[in-house]
Structure 1
Amino acid sequence: MEIVDIKVSTVPIKSKISNAYIDFSKMTAAVVAIVTDVVKDGKRVVGYGFNSNGRYAPTGLLKERFVPRLLDAKKSEVLNDTETNFEPHKIWDVLMTGEKPGGHGERSVAVGTLDMAVWDAVSKIEGKPLYQLLADQYRGGEIDEEVFVYAAGGYYQPGKGLEELKDEMQGYLDLGYSVVKMKIGGTSLDDDLRRIESVLEVVKDGSRLAVDVNGRFDLEQAIEYAEKLEPYGLFWYEEVGDPLDYDLQAELSKHYKHSMATGENLFSMQDARNLIRYGGMRPDRDYLQFDCALSYGLVEYLRIIDMLKEHGWSPRRCIPHGGHQMSLNIAAGLGLGGNESYPGVFEPFGGFADHLPVENGYVRMPDEPGIGFETKSDLRDLLHSIAT
């Protein structure tokens, strides 16, 4: 049993949308295919992975550092003790050989991309969906048969006025979502309040609307918005300041009583731990959005979950960023609070199995071995084109 090839490709994400910080017109994603010599049901097992939206493709890091490192590894360094499957934790150690602590940056994205492909291959070899594999290993076999998902949208876009924004949100409700999210912070406070109130006309209740600042505000702006947002009783107020400004987050928690969310741009267990230690996050109401595809993968995410439990946090307070099937499997297998979704945005990477619709804000899990990429036809076609 061995890895015979690893293919890497850069795929453009061409979208004319923007948040409070960036537009996505030149955004890219890295896609990897780990080709093994294992054959299941007459087909060679290939594990697939990609990085989440919001970070550019770490193609150089993959090709120059991490892929050669993995291909050069000995069998004993990548296989489990019985040599019946690959061992993701051993492979993670191989990938991080020679890497100094700290300086997580974009290397965490490269490792997370490969880690995703490793887990896809491992669960395919086991003949199980990844969520079942995780539940068997870490949760006594218990799975969440359906997972809460919310629709992330409401981006700034040329020519998009209040009516278009309302139509977008109504479309998400029509698809079966019960909670929607929109961007704020990219215009004036008065304009954003008008946008929020227009969406509230559609969703009818603030508890069904989350807002996302994408790290744009300083403390003064954060508090100014908080005072205006509090009467709405929103689902959450997300990533208000720079993700590493734990003092801002801690101070803001004194001024805003409802739920807040952050963590999607923290890329290691150590950064996540600093958020819990110093960020004033409240385990009874706030949400954590760490995204394994950006933060060294599932191996690191398991460490984050252990750290959270040590600090009195339930995994149910974790709703990962990214809107991809990897996080969906983690949510179902490890008992998280849900997963993000991007209906019609960042295709083909976002979204879930073609045959499983969202119903009352929840989506059921497919039975396909692996992460389930093959249940999403447009994503399957892209991934298979990389492997050939």
Structure 2
Amino acid sequence: MKIVDIREVTKPIASPIRNAYIDFSKMTASLVAVVTDVVRDGRRVVGYGFNSNGRYGQGGLIRERFRDRILDADPASLLNDDGSNLDAHKIWAAMMQNEKPGGHGERSVAVGTIDMAVWDAIAKIEEKPLFRLLADRKGREADPRVFVYAAGGYYYPGKDDTALCNEMRSYVNRGYTVVKMKIGGASIDEDQRRIEAVLTEIGTEAQLAVDANGRFDLETAIAYAKMLRQYPLFWFEEIGDPLDYQLQAAMAEFYPGSMATGENLFSHQDARNLIRHGGMRPDRDWLQFDCALSYGLVEYLRTLDVLDQLGWSPTRCIPHGGHQMSLNIAAGLGLGGNESYPDLFQPYGGFPDGVQVEEGHILMPDLPGIGFEGKSDLIDVMRALAD
């Protein structure tokens, strides 16, 4: 049993949308196929992965560093103890040889993308959905019912309040009970008007979360917090720079509601520093670490261990990214839910065909691996790379 090839292609996911910090007019993503020599149901097992939106494709790092470290390793050194499957932890260690600690940068995205594909292959070799494999390994009961919220509400050329409200209404009509919109890309008065328009539109049918994408300095953050605290928001997300823990801690004094952050922290050390110094409150705040951007599930397991040591429940984790990998982690390891992009970043966002949102939750289908084969538009793109 061995990995015979690792293939990467950089794909455009460009869109005219923007948040408070970046636009997506030239956004790309890496798609990876980990090809094995294992055959299941007459087809060679291939694991697939891709990086989350907001970070660009990682083809250079994947092809120049991480791919060859796996392919050059002794195949037996990448297997589990009984040789019956690949070992994601050993493969991760092979990728990270000769890498200095710290300075995570973009390499965490490259490693996380390959790691996703490795776990997809491992679960397919065991002929199990990844969420059930993860639950079995943790000795817990998998819960196929996962909370999901709808992310959108981007700034868009010509998009007025009516269009924004229509977008949010469409999510509620599709079964979501929490919807999210962007703020910080306009004046505070304009954002307040947009928020009030959406709250009027959704009424008591859903809750609204707002996301500033790390835009605010302390003075602006305080002004927004004082404005926002009058509304029954689900959370106030990424208030300031993700590494400004002092700003994050200060916001707890001005914003009594729930805060959320973590999507731009890329290691268990970053997570530990956020909890130690960021003033996050385990009774109400949310952590959004995204395995696809932060060295993969191998590192995410370390992050969950750190959170446990610091008194945080995994149920306070709702990952960024809107991908099926985090859905599997949520169902298998008991996270609080997952982000969803019902209309954006296709074909990578969304769920397998036929999966519906009901009362803010989806039921995971019993598909081997991560379940990419159940999403017809996505698996077509993936198989084109593998074949």
SS in 2 for 1:7: strand
Letter in 2 for 1:340: E
Deviation, structure 1 residue 206: 9.8
Which secondary structure state, in structure 2, belongs to the residue aligned with residue 105 of structure 1?
coil
Q: Which secondary structure state, in structure 1, belongs to the residue aligned with residue 293 of structure 2?
A: coil
Deviation at 1:298, TM superposition (A): 0.1
8 Å contact from structure 2 (residues 172, 206) kept in 1 = no
| 1:1-388 correspondence to structure 2 within 5 Å | 1-138=1-138, 140-205=139-204, 208-388=207-387
CA distance in 2, matches of 1:206, 1:365: 24
| Structure 2 counterpart of 1:348, one-letter code | P
The SS at the match of 1:36 is: strand
* Distance in 1 between residues matched to 2:77 and 2:50, nearest whole Å: 23
Secondary structure of the 1:232 match is coil
- Measured on the aligned residues, the alpha-carbon RMSD in Å equals 0.9
1:201, distance to aligned residue in structure 2 (A): 1.1
Work out the CA distance in 2 between the residues paired with 1:203 and 1:254: 29
Partner Cα distance (2:158, 2:143) in 1: 41
**Partners in 2 of 1:76 and 1:245 — Cα distance?**
43
| Structure 1 residue identity aligned to 2:35 | V
Which one-letter code corresponds to 2:68 in the other structure?
P
Please tell me whether the aligned partners of residues 206 and 233 of structure 1 are also in contact (alpha carbons under 8 angstroms). Answer: no
1:141: Cα distance to partner? 3.8
How far apart in 2 are the matches of 1:63 and 1:286? 38
Q: Size of the alignment, in residue pairs?
A: 387
Over the matched positions of the two proteins, sequence identity in percent amounts to 68
Contact 1:132-1:141 within 8 A present in 2 as well: no
**1:377 Cα deviation (Å)?**
0.8
Q: Distance in 1 between the 2:289 and 2:310 partners? A: 16
Report if aligned partners of 2:176, 2:206 keep a CA contact under 8 Å in 1: no
Stretches of structure 2 lacking an aligned partner (at least 5 in a row): none
CA distance in 1, matches of 2:160, 2:196: 13
Normalised by the length of structure 2, the TM-score is 0.99
Alpha-carbon distance between aligned partners in 2 of 1:267 and 1:203, rounded to the nearest angstrom: 34
Take 1:196 and 1:178, find their aligned partners in 2: how far apart are those partners?
16
What SS class does the counterpart of residue 253 from structure 1 fall into?
helix
CA distance in 1, matches of 2:128, 2:30: 26
1:353 shift after superposition: 1.2
- Where do 5+ consecutive residues of structure 1 fail to align? none
Indicate conservation of the 8 Å contact 1:29/1:55, yes or no: yes
Could you tell me how far 1:246 is from its partner in structure 2?
Answer: 0.2
**CA drift at 1:77:** 2.0
For residue 322 of structure 2, give the secondary structure of its aligned residue in structure 1.
coil
CA contact (8 A) 2:372 2:379 kept: yes
Question: Is 1:206–1:232's contact at 8 Å kept on the other side of the alignment?
Answer: no
Distance 2:272 2:345 in 1: 30
Give the ranges of 4+ consecutive aligned residues of structure 1 lying more than 3 Å apart after TM superposition.
none
Secondary structure of the residue that 1:57 maps to in structure 2?
A: coil
- The one-letter amino acid paired with 2:122 is V
Q: 1:45 is paired with a residue of what secondary structure?
A: strand
Superposition deviation, residue 202 in structure 1:
1.6
